[in-house]
Amino acid sequence: MRITCPLCGDRDRREFYYMGHETYLNRPAADAPLPEWDAYLHLRDNPAGDTQELWQHEAGCGAWVVVTRNTVTHEVKGSELAETYPREART
Amino acid sequence: MRYSAWQILKQGLTGNTGWQPHWRSPEPKAEYDVVVIGGGGHGLSTAYYLAKEYGITNVAVLEKGYIGGGNVGRNTTIVRANYGIDGNSEFYSHSLKLWEDMEQELNYNTMMSQRGIINLFHSDGQRDAFAKRGNMMISQGDDAIMLGRDEIREMLPYISYDNPRFPVYGGLYHPRGGTARHDAVAWGFARGADQRGVDIIQQCEVTGIDIENGVVRGVQTSRGPIRAKKVAIVVAGRSSQVAAMAGMRLPIESHVLQAFVTEGLKPCVDHVISFGMGHFYLSQSDKGGLVFGGDIDFYASYASRGNLHMAEHVMEAGMALMPMIGRAKVLRSWGGIMDMTPDGSPFIDRTQTEGLFINCGWCYGGFKAVPGSGKCFAHLMATGDHHPAASKLRLDRLARGHVIDEEATGSQHNLH
């Protein structure tokens, strides 16, 4: 599997660290109700198909990247920097 | 038909024409007391114990594919009870005891082989951690023996002792652990359940779960609707999809775990051995192939195949541990889909829907749990109470902060 880093281009999967679903980008406020923290840390849609995930180009430029990937075929369909990836609005 | 030496002799003398199929292939009935979704090891043992222990025989097991075609036929067949944390410890201890009686219980040769498991350690810190784990296993009533380097050398003369990064300091020996024939476990439970009246329905995919006013009424399937008083979801690997049919979102991310087997060799490895470089472990099947594997691939996947980076890592670990296997040819490799949970431990619980129960989240440790999981799940469904050996495997434990994190790696799904 090869992943496209928005800064470095097409690279081997071994250069990247996988963290999990892009849910991790929407961290609740420190005083958010506990069910929100439970959902953030534990609950996942876990789709069999296209999904957005948080990877880090650990052995490359170090950028955090949101990768669109198919979990059934392992096809990588796109990637963008986590820095500029739209966050879900939270109150 | 009861299997025995006499039966083998009789059938041998009559041209082996009298053997019967292990289970019937009935058409689904319109209604059952219990519908078990998933005909894997856990689903079959659940149905078996429902019928045998709790007298609930009007049960259907619905399997999308065929019996033995899922993870129960895709694992590395290891059976053990070397857990240390409350919640896991009593559960796997209970399960191992059921493994020890399984062949008599099922009248089926599941080839249970208590050849012993040796977990090697490679530093003083690891020795302390394994001594602690061994003490926890003994406190639970199971067996653990700390072995030094010289004692290990007598048992495993063929491994590399002076690897500069992972020198062998010793090992934690669990004599009652071992392996079993995985397909036979599925077939044995299927046969036992069928003999007690359970309908095993293959090629029957559940497409929906019928819920009215918070009470489960039955399931929709590719072979028509089936009504049921109680429904059990036992579909590790696909838990998130089936649970979503009941409006549930689970604390699970699916990952692929690879395994490898070499060509058949003469007997050379007498135990199950694990190596501290990653998760590498190895045993030799009764057919002679070396069966080995390592970590999950670390990214979410529903493809029943892995990528080369993990294959490469596993081969490196194997060569580092026992250079002699370098000559053996790898015959095949495969991948199974694991329900990875945020604390590495499973769930056996009821759901918010009345009459709907779930058994999932086995990570890559489901095979050794087959009898214990079925028994505890059947107990929960039949009596309404959690079995004492599985009382902590609750779905809400993460939200409550009562994690069962055996490896203390935190709440990231792929780190267990």
The tens digit of pLDDT for each residue in A6-34 reads 999 999 999 999 999 999 999 999 999 99
Whole-number Å distance between alpha carbons of B413 and B206: 27
Rg (Cα) of chain B, in Å, rounded? 21
Helical (H) or strand (E) element with B341: none
Residues 6 or more apart whose CB falls under 8 angstroms from that of B277 comprise B122, B165, B166, B317, B320, B321
The structural domains of chain B, ordered by start, are: 24-77+182-251+343-400 (3.50.50.60), 114-176+253-340 (3.30.9.10)
Rounded distance between C-alpha atoms, residue B211 and residue B216, angstroms: 4
Whether B302 has its CB under 8 Å from any CB of chain A: the answer is yes
Which residues does B220 contact at the CB level (< 8 Å), separation at least 6? B206, B207, B208, B209, B210
All residues at 6 or more sequence positions from A48 whose CB lies less than 8 Å from its CB, including other chains: A71, A72, B238, B241, B254, B302
Structure tokens at B89: 């410890």
Query: Does residue B284 sit at the A interface (CB-CB below 8 Å)?
Result: no
HSE, CB side, 13 Å, CA atoms: give it for residue B62: 30
Q: Which residues of A touch B414 (CB under 8 A)?
A: 18, 20
CB contact at 8 A, B189 and B48: yes
Structure tokens at B250: 């689970």
Distance, CA of B115 to CA of B112 (rounded, Å):
9
Residue contact A46–B342, C-beta within 8 A = no
The pLDDT value recorded for residue A91 is: 41
**Token pair of B104, please?**
């008599």
Q: What are phi and psi of B6, to 5 degrees?
A: -60, -40
CA distance B295 to B364: 9
Question: Is the distance from CB of B343 to CB of B320 less than 8 angstroms?
Answer: no
- For A42-69, the pLDDT digits (tens) are 999 999 999 999 999 999 999 999 999 9
Reduced to 3 states (helix: H, G, I; strand: E, B; else coil), residue B347 is strand
- Strands, E assignment, B110-158: 117-121, 145-148
List the single residue in B with minimal CA-CA distance to A55: B299
Distances (CA, A) of B60 to A58, B37, B227: 49, 8, 11
Tokens of B38: 């998933």
- pLDDT level of residue A89 (50, 70, 90 thresholds): low
pLDDT at residue A87, as a whole number: 81
Which pLDDT belongs to residue B278? 82
Please report, for chain A, the start and end positions of each structural domain, with discontinuous segments joined by +.
2-89
CA distance B33 to chain A (A): 30
Pairwise CB contact (< 8 Å): B253 & A20: yes
What sign does the dihedral B225-B231-B232-B236 (CA atoms) show? positive
- Cα gap B59→B321, rounded to integer Å: 48
Distance CA A84, CA B286 (A): 55
CA B95 to chain centre: 10
Residues of chain A contacting residue B302, judged by C-beta atoms under 8 Å apart: 48, 71-72
pLDDT at B154: 97
Does residue A90 have a pLDDT over 90? no
Nearest to A74 among B251, B252, B301 (CB): B301
The alpha carbon of B214 is separated from its chain's Cα centroid by a whole number of angstroms, namely 31
Q: What ranges make up the beta strands (E) of B213-307?
A: 215-221, 226-233, 253-264, 272-274, 281-284, 289-300
Residue pair B338/B363 in contact by the 8 Å Cβ criterion: yes
Residue with tokens 């053990």: B80
Query: pLDDT class for A88, splitting at 50, 70, 90?
Result: confident
Give the integer Cα–Cα distance in Å for A47 and A53. Answer: 11
Number of CB pairs, chain A paired with chain B, less than 8 A apart: 70
Q: Which fold has domain A2-89?
A: Folate-binding fold (3.30.2270)
Which parts of chain B sit beneath pLDDT 50?
none
Instruction: Test B300 with A14 for CB contact under 8 angstroms.
Output: no
Q: Which of B309, B398, B412 sits opposite A38 (nearest CB)?
A: B398
Nearest alpha carbon to residue B262 among B242, B278, B233, B283: B283
